[in-house]
Structure 1
Amino acid sequence: MGQTIVEKIVSTHAGKCVHAGDLTVVDVDFLMASDTTAPLAINAFKNMGGQRIFDPTKMALVIDHASPAPNQRIASLHDLMREFANEQGIKLYDVGDGICHQLMIENRHARPGQLVLGADSHTCTYGAIGTFSTGVGSTDLAGAMLTGRTWLKVPETILIKINGSLPKGVSAKDLVLHVVGIIGIQGATYDAIEYTGTTMEDLSLDSRMTIASMSIEMGAKAGFIHTKGLSLPYEFEHVLPDSDATYKQIIDIDASTVTSQVAVPHSPDNVVSIENLNEIIIHQAFIGSCTNGRLEDLHAAAEILKDKRVHPNVRLIIAPASRKVFLDALQDGTVETLTKAGATFLPSGCGPCVGTHLGIPGNNEVIVSSTNRNFLGRMGNRNSDIYLGSPAFVAAAALRGKITNPQKLLEGVCGS
């Protein structure tokens, strides 16, 4: 019987052949926790009697969700992480280094064919390079810290075939929002998703990470982009399914028909084509997060805003996904372009996305965001509305002060 990608990777780490529905124990290749979950994991580890983690070279701690610390309580949690990392010899990424999921791929902690656990729901991002990566709770992570192993039920897999060329101004974010709109926020609960097709083969690593990241917005345990067409700065074996693998569901999508997509309040699956959305007045625009804060995303915004100015009634905030992304954007002039346009750059981190600090909206304000979730209160204020879209969508809205189709701006139809 043929195997899906997740069945192949789990079999390798279980030491036996497994298929969807099987319960098994697996070895883990790497562990990660951020400042929202690491303190709980550390305390759980100690309560289990843990003295030393199974292998300090196979774990990283990242301070990114409330970074820099917005208050004394969180500063104390950061200190706990620093102390534990020093005591255990674990790699710690401190304030401003970057968002955990960006750092995991950027610094090669996650690699194709590996099995990685992270105490954060968007750990599924590493499926962009063919890693079985999934989010777990702090207690489960603590158990893996102690033993180097975990248990799981092998997921069923949904295959999504995407072929054709995306229209100008339509990005990976539009594509994945289109998919989320089809499947729904619970439509892939505990399933794995495989994305394949000619469209996927042509996508950059940045775009692949955007799509893999939002697999959790459909409830998926993991999301894999077929590694055909993937280029990495090191040699690797492609992770592909068998031709006779069994799938729970197969969905076909013609990429050429996808338009700019927007998730309207208050759910990521409440997706509409921007052509069906009114020109709603906005107050704040945010580009960043593990989903859309990479160099490609900043380039897309700069293309819209070059030699222009953000609307005077709009605040444009940008948080690059990592220090490296910021430096690359600084070197190629993107930071200058966006700063001259009126953007404010924040330290690399997750603050605005999760509503901890650095950009909490005011009452009755409308926010356009390149992040992954727009639940009520997600960005820190339940009395505001969040519209999700691509970085180009965010930049276009920031420019005109209202929701605008970036495709038309790029075609020169709409003025500033």
Structure 2
Amino acid sequence: MGQTITEKIFSEHANKKVRAGEIVRVDIDMIIGNDITTPISIRAFEESGQKKLARPDNFCIVMDHYIPAKDIASANQAKISREFAYKHDLKNFFDEKDMGIEHALLPEKGLVIPGDVIIGADSHTCTHGALGAFSTGMGSTDISFGMITGGNWFKVPETIKVELSGKPAQHIYGKDIILELIRMIGVDGALYKAIEFTGDSIQYLGMADRFSIANMVIEAGAKNGIFAVDEVTESYLTERAEANGGLRAEPKIHYSDEDAEYCQVIKIDIANLSPVIAYPFLPSNGKSIEQAVADDLKIDQVMIGSCTNGRIEDLRIAAKIMEGKRVARHTRMIVTPATQKIFLQAQKEGLMEILINAGAVVSNPTCGACLGGYMGILGDQERCVATTNRNFVGRMGARTSEIYLANSAVAAASAIAGKIVDPRT
């Protein structure tokens, strides 16, 4: 019996052939921390008596949740990570001078490599599976164990195979594909499973789409999401290598065997998919755009950004729709580029001028609005269309507020209309 990509990555790291269900101890290629979760890991690390990181060049801290600090508490929280980074002279420490949302910044920096095993104390660490890596979120104490030993224990997950067929129609993106999958299987439909995306539709999906899809597999309970490396991946990696003077390491590319064993196969016809809107209060509460339009949902705020949909492609989509138009009078719009590089590229292309002239507020790269921390808090009974990944009760502010998850085209068109509309009409 053959192996899946995920099984092969673990086999390569364990130096033996492994199967789903086995528990293995492997070295970690990249450990990711941020200003919210790293202080807990640092405390555990220091309480252990450990003086040095096991693999300092394989440990990264990205300051992205409350940066710049929103209050004294967040400033003191950030201070813990900064002092640790300076003390250990961390090579991969990204603060305000070179900031970005971690799951957009690391691939941009060439720090995520196909075949890697990656962990981070953030649930959306699974984003990096878009590059053919095994990447998953873990707890802060699990991260400290990796800091101390350079490795960790894993149960090799079973794999769900998702076969995508057909060419996406206008304004159908990776966000719609993953929201449709979550609608189909629910928030626990892939609990501790790998989700491997395959099919003829993959050729039509750029890296931005793949990052969005991998980012949200956790919303179905998955351990990781993964795409096989292809020409699109290779082109992206070449660009990153050129921009950064090389990649962190040599890619180790794996493909699933034809006779690999899957615990489930799910088929989705992308050609006939409409934009999907996840109604409150779960990402699995997906409705068609046609339903949302019929419901005549007035909105108070639109947010385009986050580690899910804050890439240059998202800003281009929004700017194209909004050029020469204006955000509705009763609606606010926040745009958050995922990294400073994306911000500068959008400025260079004239996208920022279009968005600001349309009435949008552009913020620095931050997770703030997405997690309900700052830079876009919702008030009581306010309704928001967001390109983010979660719409739980109180996720972006007041517990009576509502979040509707959507792609960037829907968000931009809805900002202009002041209610949820179909960008295709």
TM-score, length-scaled by structure 1: 0.96
Query: Secondary structure in 2 aligned to 1:161?
Result: strand
Query: Secondary structure in 2 aligned to 1:327?
Result: helix
For residues 16-55 of structure 1, the aligned pairs below 5 Å read 16-55=16-55
Q: Which moved more, 1:373-382 or 1:87-96?
A: 87-96
What displacement does 1:201 show? 2.1
2:237 aligned partner, one-letter code: P
Structure 2: how far apart are the matches of 1:380 and 1:69?
18
Q: Is residue 3 of structure 1 aligned with residue 22 of structure 2?
A: no
Q: Is residue 164 of structure 1 aligned with residue 166 of structure 2?
A: yes
What runs of 5+ residues in structure 2 fail to find an aligned partner? 239-249
Structure 1: how far apart are the matches of 2:142 and 2:397?
28
1:124 aligned partner, one-letter code: C
Q: Is the 8 A contact 2:379 2:397 kept in 1?
A: no
For residues 274-289 of structure 1, the aligned pairs below 5 Å read 274-277=289-292, 278-289=295-306
Q: Aligned residue for 2:266?
A: 251
What displacement does 1:68 show? 1.2
Q: Aligned residue for 1:413?
A: none
What RMSD over aligned residues (CA atoms) do the two structures have, in Å?
A: 1.1
1:405 aligned partner, one-letter code: D
Query: Secondary structure in 1 aligned to 2:302?
Result: strand
Residues 31-73 of structure 1 deviation map (CA, whole Å, 9 limit, x = unaligned): 1101110000100111112211012111111111111111111
Q: Aligned residue for 2:321?
A: 304
Identical aligned residues as a percent: 44
Q: Aligned residue for 2:237?
A: 233
Query: Secondary structure in 2 aligned to 1:69?
Result: coil
What displacement does 1:236 show? 4.2
Aligned partner of 1:341 among 358, 371, 393: 358
What displacement does 1:229 show? 3.5
Structure 1: how far apart are the matches of 2:394 and 2:180?
23
Residues 141-161 of structure 1 deviation map (CA, whole Å, 9 limit, x = unaligned): 000000001001000000000
Structure 2: how far apart are the matches of 1:232 and 1:294?
14
What runs of 5+ residues in structure 1 fail to find an aligned partner? 409-416
Structure 1: how far apart are the matches of 2:400 and 2:153?
41
Aligned partner of 2:422 among 402, 405, 415: 405
Q: Aligned residue for 1:143?
A: 145
Runs (4 or more) in structure 1 with deviation over 6 Å come to: none
Q: Is residue 58 of structure 1 aligned with residue 58 of structure 2?
A: yes
Q: Is the 8 A contact 2:168 2:204 kept in 1?
A: no
2:343 aligned partner, one-letter code: F
Structure 2: how far apart are the matches of 1:240 and 1:389?
31
Q: Is the 8 A contact 2:110 2:237 kept in 1?
A: no
Q: Is residue 115 of structure 1 aligned with residue 117 of structure 2?
A: yes
Q: Aligned residue for 1:372?
A: 389
Q: Is residue 273 of structure 1 aligned with residue 274 of structure 2?
A: no
Structure 2: how far apart are the matches of 1:133 and 1:337?
36
Query: Secondary structure in 2 aligned to 1:243?
Result: coil
TM-score, length-scaled by structure 2: 0.94
Q: Aligned residue for 2:157?
A: 155
Q: Is residue 94 of structure 1 aligned with residue 95 of structure 2?
A: yes
Residues 104-143 of structure 1 deviation map (CA, whole Å, 9 limit, x = unaligned): 1111111100111111000000000001011010000000
Structure 2: how far apart are the matches of 1:381 and 1:13?
45
Q: Is the 8 A contact 2:35 2:63 kept in 1?
A: yes
Residues 198-217 of structure 1 deviation map (CA, whole Å, 9 limit, x = unaligned): 21122111111000001111
Q: Aligned residue for 2:127?
A: 125
Structure 2: how far apart are the matches of 1:345 and 1:364?
24
What displacement does 1:87 show? 0.8
Q: Is the 8 A contact 1:37 1:138 kept in 2?
A: yes
Q: Is the 8 A contact 1:170 1:407 kept in 2?
A: no
Q: Is residue 360 of structure 1 aligned with residue 377 of structure 2?
A: yes
- Matched length: 408
What displacement does 1:75 show? 0.3
Q: Is the 8 A contact 2:3 2:257 kept in 1?
A: yes
